[in-house]
Amino acid sequence: MTHPGLDRARVRDATLRLALPLARRVGDSHLIDDPELLAAFGKDESHVPPATPDLVLKAQSEAHVIAALQLAAEYGVPVVPRGAGTGKSGGAIPIVGGLVLDTTALNQVLDVDRHNLLAVVQPGLITGDFQAHLEGLGLFYPPDPNSLETCTLGGNAAHNAGGPRAFKYGVTRNYVMATRTALMGGDVLATGTRTIKRAAGYDLTSLLVGSEGTLGVFTELTLRLVVQPTHLSTLLICMGDEPAAGRAIAQIIAAGLVPRVLEFMDGTLVQVLREEGVSAIAPGTGALILAEIDGTSETQVEADTLELAERCEDAGALQVLMARHGAEREQLWAARRLLSEAIKSRGKYKVSEDIVVPRAAADELLQGLRALNEKHSALVAAYGHAGDGNFHVNILWDDPDYRPDAVVDDVFALVWSLRGTITGEHGVGLSKKAYLPKEQSAPLIDAQRRIKHALDPLGLLNPAKIFAP
């Protein structure tokens, strides 16, 4: 269902023909065609090899986005929407060349409506900047991907990004109330409403969120907000081993506690953190839990914090550290924040998967991963959002000739055996599209292809993503 002309040379040719009429509509200064500068728009934070686009438009307005999509349809040019390029599945890589539509200059907060607890933003706004803006107003936008200092809200919506706080607050999809979305050809859909409830027609807002830039380009997002919690406590809990950590997490959930963060780090990572000099780890620790409780009632936060600590002690905690204020809380977070970089010391090469299993299967998953460590010569280490069953499984090795494919296959087979899914946050993009048919049935994939065809009949918007040919 891709456009028949998506051959690399023909795409380049078509893009060069589009450049002049596009420059007339948007102005020369927003277009980039210098080969040295183009390369920066051909990669993201995945392991997918980069691919250089033929042209980049740094859109300054919705009208620029519309102009690009009208001309792209007319000239048969593929268009890849792009935010900050922090994606981890190759979603923003222009694999067949063509035009990259950079949305980072569309970075304004258009409205904050505190009575209705919502904000209207442009898609290129950096997530952390938006959160900082709201903080001064006593408001809160919970989704917190670990890349929040650099990634954009448009990229978050395209990938349905989550983060540590998803256990209590949910993921991006739970916050996108409405969008303005430009389709290939230039039509703009105003989807969703400013209301809490809606039942009119199909829920296209939810469909567009998580569609990885393959169905439309967000030009505006209306986001739900909550009131800023006023009280917070952070706990770092040292457990003797991974099964004990699993028991503690199960007891926390069974007790009806809803910490906003419930993160897990396995035994290998504990060792890495020790070597990095993290002092808060008790002797004998074989797994760590990081939890955070928030709320607007000090008494409730205090009570929940103590109960969470008790549940962990019942499950055999070796040490429970608690902090309620800025710098102390940051010290406890240090272990978690260090992880992504620290783990690189364990192998010259690394791939990282972001699988999800039903919460109650977390124990079995961790056991299975330990078995893979024995079976393969690569190191397999896991950390992540245990409260959601969403784990980042890191595969590390040193030998440049080693291929991790067999380990990845085994990790995914384990995940499917537990009725889980291959991605909870990073999307399919290019890196996982070969695996999608193993997770989803042919009719289900076919239904999604037909949706894609209905909204992008020429197959020009972010082509070759999600679905294998």
Ligand X SMILES: Cc1cc2nc3c(=O)[nH]c(=O)nc-3n(C[C@H](O)[C@H](O)[C@H](O)COP(=O)(O)OP(=O)(O)OC[C@H]3O[C@@H](n4cnc5c(N)ncnc54)[C@H](O)[C@@H]3O)c2cc1C
Binding region for ligand X (CB under 6 A): 44-45, 80-88, 91-92, 103, 123, 145-147, 151-152, 154-156, 158-159, 161-163, 212-213, 217-218, 340, 425-426, 462
Smallest separation (angstroms) from ligand X to the CB of 128: 11
Q: Pick between residue 83 and residue 286 the one whose CB is nearest to ligand X.
A: 83
State the Cα–Cα distance between residues 329 and 206, nearest whole angstrom. Answer: 35
Max CA separation in the chain (angstroms)? 69
Q: Pick between residue 53 and residue 163 the one whose CB is nearest to ligand X.
A: 163
Smallest separation (angstroms) from ligand X to the CB of 146: 4
Distance (Å) of CA 212 to CA 2, 107, 192, 419 = 16, 19, 18, 23
State the Cα–Cα distance between residues 52 and 264, nearest whole angstrom. Answer: 38
Instruction: Please provide the DSSP assignment of 259-273 as one string.
Output: -SEEEEE-HHHHHHH
Smallest separation (angstroms) from ligand X to the CB of 283: 30
Helices (H), 94-241: 127-135, 153-159, 166-169, 204-208
Smallest separation (angstroms) from ligand X to the CB of 462: 5
Smallest separation (angstroms) from ligand X to the CB of 336: 11
Q: Which residues contact residue 363 at a Cβ distance below 8 angstroms, ignoring those fewer than 6 apart?
A: 243, 246, 250
Q: Pick between residue 208 and residue 244 the one whose CB is nearest to ligand X.
A: 208
Tokens of 433: 């599209």
Q: Describe the crossing of helices 362-375 and 242-254 by its angle, rounded to 10 degrees.
A: 160
Q: Pick between residue 79 and residue 238 the one whose CB is nearest to ligand X.
A: 79
Q: Are 319 and 257 in contact (CB under 8 A)?
A: no
SS3 state at 251? helix
Distance (Å) of CA 351 to CA 45, 113, 211, 429, 463 = 11, 42, 23, 15, 24
CA atoms within 13 A on the CB side of 427: 27
Token pair 């256990």 is at which residue?
A: 167
The answer to whether the Cα torsion of 109, 165, 382, 212 is positive or negative is negative
- DSSP class of residue 172? G
Q: Pick between residue 404 and residue 427 the one whose CB is nearest to ligand X.
A: 427
Q: Which residues contact residue 443 at a Cβ distance below 8 angstroms, ignoring those fewer than 6 apart?
A: none
Smallest separation (angstroms) from ligand X to the CB of 190: 15
Q: Pick between residue 153 and residue 372 the one whose CB is nearest to ligand X.
A: 153
Distance (Å) of CA 400 to CA 202, 336, 350, 378, 395 = 49, 28, 11, 12, 14
Amino acid symbol at 104: T
Q: Pick between residue 163 and residue 387 the one whose CB is nearest to ligand X.
A: 163
Smallest separation (angstroms) from ligand X to the CB of 54: 16
Smallest separation (angstroms) from ligand X to the CB of 384: 9
Amino acid symbol at 278: V
Q: Pick between residue 1 and residue 306 the one whose CB is nearest to ligand X.
A: 1
Smallest separation (angstroms) from ligand X to the CB of 311: 25
State the Cα–Cα distance between residues 240 and 230, nearest whole angstrom. Answer: 33
Smallest separation (angstroms) from ligand X to the CB of 122: 9
Smallest separation (angstroms) from ligand X to the CB of 387: 14
